[in-house]
Amino acid sequence: MSSTTALAPTSTTPATAANMSSDLKPPGQAAAAVKPCCVCKDEKASRDECMLFSNADNPQEACQGMVEKYRSCMKRFGFNIN
């Protein structure tokens, strides 16, 4: 049996038709903070697919372009991948 719990709104502004489509992220630095799992999803999927399903003798070398695209995308969000 599953139970659902209603979460209390985090904002003191009441929900209206005018603000229902507004951004719910908190203002300031909290809104700018992103998790590495939530960015560059397409680049990560392409990189992973290339590495896992490559027919090359050396998939790491064959997929270097995909790896670099993923690294540069992550760097744009402030994550440094070695």
Residue 15 has pLDDT above 60, yes or no: yes
- Reported as a single tens digit per residue, the pLDDT across 51-82 is 999 999 999 999 999 999 999 999 999 898 88
8 or 38, greater pLDDT: 38
Q: pTM higher than 0.85 for the full model?
A: no
Secondary structure of the chain in the HEC alphabet? CCCCCCCCCCCCCCCCCCCCCCCCCCCCHHHHCCCHHHCCHHHHHHHHHHHHHCCCCCHHHHCHHHHHHHHHHHHHCCCCCC
What is the reported pLDDT for 81? 84
